Amino acid sequence: MKRAINKLLAALLALCLLVPASSLAAQNKYTRYTHIFFGTFDTVITILAYAKDREEFDAAAAATEAAFQRYHKIFDQYHPYEGINNVFTLNRQAALAPVVVPEELFDLLVYCREMQPKLLGKVNVAMGSVLRLWHDAREVAKAHPDDTALPEVEALRDAAKHTDMRDVILNKADKSVFFADPRLKLDVGAVAKGYATELAARDLLQGPVSHFIINAGGNVRTGNPPLDGRRNWSVGIQDPSAAVLAPNDTDVLDMLFMHNMCSVTSGDYQRYFILDGVLYHHLISPETLFPTHFMRSVTVITEDSGLADLLSTTLFLMPHEEGAAFLEELDLPVEAVWVLNDGSVAMTEGAKKMAYSHGAAN
């Protein structure tokens, strides 16, 4: 946690140094404020925004933090919460009888079911039984390194027999969920944080504090432009090989300039364990039931953070060339940046127009 705080403070300091004093003076009706909080989605969340006064900002920041706390509880698959039927509840009760869930969770499941075929089946939130085996392996590796081991292949194959999203019965009339397969389990980790960030951002955009940037542990959502003379917010792409933030920001490979858009990264350096010199990360292919090794990371840039979260996982689970072709056929306003295994960087043409390395300026 200390490392995360130091990185965050260093990044904020670097951002401050980029803002000319004359620009700030020109916008003296607004002041930039920052709010940092912990405890949701297993990450540090930062809100940086412009407001007329501290009271206005604090009210907006408090509402946003409360929203993240609610979404965290609703989408949590590991813990129960009194009065909330969440993913944890569904995985234990939905095979017995339909369970009425909060609207946000029901809408998320409808969205994932609609998107799954469009994403070539690369992201399947009904893969919880498979992903749990990998989660348990990571937990053992972290707590007892000498006992590190891969999930048994037969166990993975058996779990994979119970991952059909068609067995998740969604009743729109009463917002209830039922599992037709009693061994099916949900895991919304590939989309929940981005989806929650998007909901929180849309609420902010409707209020007086609409010039903001939210950083939810690599899921970055920008609102209207900063009120300091710049046209865009600056969003860094992290070097997957850099363990800590150095004084000269050497862990940032590039900068993207954007507003009213988001940037979401999937990579092999976030949750993983190493066995016999091989890195096993948390992004699991539905085809092989094992992690892929096509790249180090991929960053998706688009307007919707929930979509970006799904797409970053999708692209990470296919080779770069296949992913680039997939985006062309998807016919949506989506850009991407790939960090390949040899350290080289590939970008879509739209991403190049936003990237500092290709001449973009703020």
Homologous superfamily (CATH) of 231-362 is ApbE-like domains (3.10.520.10)
Name the fold adopted by 90-179.
T-fold (1.10.3980)
Terminal-to-terminal C-alpha distance of the chain = 31
Q: What does the alpha-carbon distance between residue 263 and residue 253 come to, in Å, rounded to a whole number?
A: 14
Task: State mean pLDDT over 166-187.
Answer: 98
pTM above 0.85, yes or no: yes
The per-residue pLDDT for range 194-204, each reduced to its tens digit, is 999 999 999 99
**Cα–Cα dist 229/276, whole Å:** 52
Residues 322-343 pLDDT 10s: 999 999 999 899 999 999 999 9
The reported pLDDT for the residue numbered 200 is 98
The domain limits of the chain are 90-179, 231-362
What is the per-residue DSSP string for 109-176? HHHHHHHTGGGTTS--TTBHHHHHHHHHHHHHHHH-GGG--PPPHHHHHHHHTT--GGGEEEETTTTE
Strand 278-281 to 297-302 pairing:
unpaired
Q: Confirm if 182 and 176 have CB atoms less than 8 A apart.
A: no
Amino acid at the residue 233: W
Asked if residue 192 lies in contact with residue 112, where contact means CB atoms within 8 angstroms, the answer is no
